[in-house]
Chains A and B, each alone.
Chain A
Amino acid sequence: MAHILVLFAHPAFEKSRIHARLINHIKHVQGVTFHDLYEAYPDFDINVKREQYLLTLHDIIIWQHPFYWYNAPALVKQWLDLVLEHGWAYGAKGRALAGKKVFNAISTGGTQAAYSKTGRNRFTITELLAPFDQTAHLCHMTYMPPFVVQGTHKLQTADIELHGLQYAQLLTALAHDRISFDEWKNVTYLNELVPIPQPIQS
């Protein structure tokens, strides 16, 4: 059994369509700790000791957030800056996070096609997430492919609900160690491990 920590960051959660539904589906999944960063630190005054303690209690960390300007909302950056201390998370003696798995669970307005060399965003999601990948690497963590909900502006409620089910199934599987390295190392998005019906293109 693996313990999962969802570090959730959304500065305007009350307006959220996607993440509100995703969270409804995963909040009560066994083994999942849900941690709402903007609710805990509205003043950006992060309690570093508490965050580090939370991290040590879990095996899989998820940064869940909307993908604003090809990155996470500001509080996630503040979190990275302050919590991943030299000598604790990285550096010669920093081994506190070694061996843990981490990935991003994000939503984007653009479709997967828009995030490609020929699309209007010119880079793939995987390329744009490189800073997170490298952060995990420096902290001796394993960076997994992201879970991504895309084309959100056109998604119907039913499709968002399906993504919610998909996310919950993924976390259930991860919590019970049902996904092996061989399975996830070859996928672009973790979504591929839990296929759902696609919206009919008209």
Chain B
Amino acid sequence: MDQQSLLFQAMVYLAAAVVMVPLAKKLGLGSVLGYLLAGVVIGPAVTGFIGNEGQDIMHFAEFGVVMMLFIIGLELEPKRLWKLRKSIAGLGTLQVLATGLAIAGLAMAFGLPWKQALALGMIMSLSSTAIVLQTLNEKGLMNTAAGQSSFSVLLFQDIAVIPMLALFPLLVNLPDTTATESGHTQATLVDHLSGWGKTLVVLVTVGMIILSGRFLVRPLFRVIAATKLREIFTATALLLVIGIAVLMMQVGLSPALGAFLAGVVLADSEYRHELESDIEPFKGLLLGLFFIAVGASIDFQLIVQEPGFIVGAVLVLMAIKGIVLIVLGKTFGLKRDQNLQFAVSLCQIGEFAFVLLSFSLQQHILPASVTDRLVAVVAISMALTPLMMLMNEQLVLPFVGARIRQHDNQREADAIEERNPVIVAGFGHFGNTVGRFLRANGVKATYLDNDSDRVELLRKMGFKIHYGDASRYDLLQAAGAEHAKVIVIAIDSPEKRLEMIETVKKHFSHLHMFVRARNRYDAYDLMNAGMLHVYRETIDTSLRLGQDVLSFLGYRAYKVHRAAQTFLKYDEQVLKELASIRDGDEYIIASRSHMEELDRLLQADQQKQFTELESGWGEESLIAEANKPSP
């Protein structure tokens, strides 16, 4: 592909995404559906900007899934992963086995030979990591029981692909009529090794990833970070992920699994957030590209030719997967609404099916007549997933939720009865001091937090606490925002705070917001968002430190105390004045505006006279008057 056509392609993809994704978001459909629609629009079915290369792009863009698992790994500490071991091994194994066997049985009933049926069952048992995790993340459901179970199953499926690929050569049953080479899969370094040798290599590789994550990568990042070259840090992060992927493929393991492992190892490193924010945009774009490619690869011609078969196959396959998931969810103790969420999330057929289908075509396991149709079926089922999750959320769950509440014990009712005047969002270092202070003074408050360990502890201590993303409307609703008076926004992330302010303004405009601010600049943003009660994290503490220094130097304590009061009031005043100035120049490069800001501050300080003592306690004027010669 020459450069011009490459750029043209890039333009088409980006334009489609830029138009469709915000549109889909606006309509409440979520980004995944937006990308899929964008793919359909630029695909052969509508405008035809892209033709059959959609499949190739999909394989390339699958690397987004690897990056996504790396990021998920980063957010998952080993301790939490260990907690999930039961559901990964139990729920995951049972899902793959039961679904695979059910679909294989059905295929045999339709007259497919058993080898083909078995291959089909295995391929169809997989779900789409990309779509499910992206959608769950976007909806903030990753930490619910349904989200955790879905994640466990997906993780197991990722592992299960390896033995599947190993099993496939045993299922060859078609005569080798085509001339294509059968050894299409890349030759790996371990091909010539015996079974024991392979296992050993795999173990050594995994061990290497863990050890180098612990002892090699951190010093490396320290050195890279010291160069202060942002792009080199990004390059290193990319190199890390790509390197692991290559290494894993060389030893015949899933690159996604390797990246996930590396992520988990680095989860408690100090570079976690930087790695996350560096990889995040690449992951997002690649996943977007992947979804577009899926959308573009839906073969509408085939659907038009055989609508009955394609639609029927989609419905039957998704129904089988859904039923298996519901039964398993129930066995593993998911509540009814969570179970529905879990089943709806995972009942599509995943992107790995594309890989396995083309693999089995080349390996003469399945005939082209089957794989062609199934590619369409898989793509449609993936496209349906975000839609079904949306419908489930909007139409089914409210109904089920209401019924559960009616059937459930008294506690749920109590929770609704109790209407606290204050909601505190965020129970970290900042929020917990606010919360403890309120509680010490008998003020009842409802708390929101997104750290599940903390939530558990607080619940045990008798706090009324909700788990989740506090900027979400439904969580605020559940916390009783309609009847509260005050909301304390003490969450850590400035972006989330602004998001939350928007939600409160839009839906709960009666609430008075008391907002934590990280620093001056953050405070400006909040004031420009219309906030009246803004509290900078550091101002009181640094002033107290300043007071102690003055005291230590021998200043009288009360004088120091009053000086700090004066300074604080003056600083708040200056903050207000500068906030209005700053409103205009939002686009100045951050570092430059910070310098200008400091300059303004120091100038304002020089103009103010801090020495004006309370004259009521001074006697200079009295002495002067007493010594004046009387007229």
Contact = CB atoms under 8 A, between A and B. Distances in A.
B621 A91 contact: yes
A82 B615 CA distance: 7
B333 interface: no
Interface in A4-53: 43, 45, 48
A122 B616 CA distance: 33
Interface residues of A, number: 12
Given A91-B622, A91-B625, A85 B562 contact: no
Interface residues of B, number: 12
A81 B614 CA distance: 9
A82 B625 contact: no
Contacts of A48: 614, 616
Interface in B541-591: 562, 565-566, 569
A83 B615 CA distance: 9
Given A43-B565, A45-B562, A45-B565, A85 B625 contact: no
A83 B621 CA distance: 15
Q: Nearest 4 pairs between A and B by C-beta?
A: A82-B616, A45-B565, A81-B616, A86-B621
Nearest to A45: B565
Nearest to B566: A45
Contacts of A92: 625, 628
A84 interface: yes
Interface in A80-111: 81-87, 91-92
A82 B614 contact: yes
Contacts, number: 29
The A interface, classified by DSSP as helix, strand, loop or mixed, is loop
Most chain B Cβ neighbours within 10 Å, of A86, A87, A91: A86
Nearest to B618: A86
Contacts of A83: 616
9 contacts: A45-B566, A48-B614, A81-B614, A86-B615, A86-B616, A86-B621, A86-B625, A87-B615, A92-B625
B215 interface: no
Interface string A170-202: 000000000000000000000000000000000
Given A43-B565, A45-B565, A45-B566, A82 B621 contact: no
A43 B565 CA distance: 8
Nearest to B558: A44
Contacts of A43: 565
Contacts of B628: 92
Nearest to A43: B565
Nearest to B616: A82
Contacts of B617: 81-82
Contacts of B625: 86, 91-92
B93 to A, nearest CB: 64
B616 A84 contact: yes
Interface of B: 562, 565-566, 569, 614-617, 621-622, 625, 628
B622 A86 contact: yes
Given A81-B614, A87-B615, A91-B621, 9 more contacts: A45-B562, A48-B614, A82-B614, A82-B616, A83-B616, A86-B615, A86-B616, A86-B621, A86-B625
A102 B158 CA distance: 85
Q: Secondary structure at chain B's binding surface: helix, strand, loop or mixed?
A: helix
Contacts of B569: 45
Nearest to A84: B616
A87 B621 contact: yes
Contacts of A82: 614, 616-617
Interface-central residue, B566, B617, B625, B628, by most chain A CB under 10 Å? B625
Contacts of B622: 86, 91
Nearest to B621: A86
Contacts of A85: 615-616
Interface string A61-94: 0000000000000000000011111110001100
A45 B621 CA distance: 22
A87 B622 CA distance: 9
B572 to A, nearest CB: 13
A43 B617 CA distance: 17
Nearest to B628: A92
Nearest to A91: B625
Contacts of A81: 614, 616-617
Nearest to A81: B616
Contacts of B614: 48, 81-82
A85 B614 CA distance: 9
B547 to A, nearest CB: 13
Contacts of A45: 562, 565-566, 569
Nearest to B617: A81
A48 B566 CA distance: 12
Nearest to A83: B616
A85 B628 CA distance: 19
Interface in A138-172: none
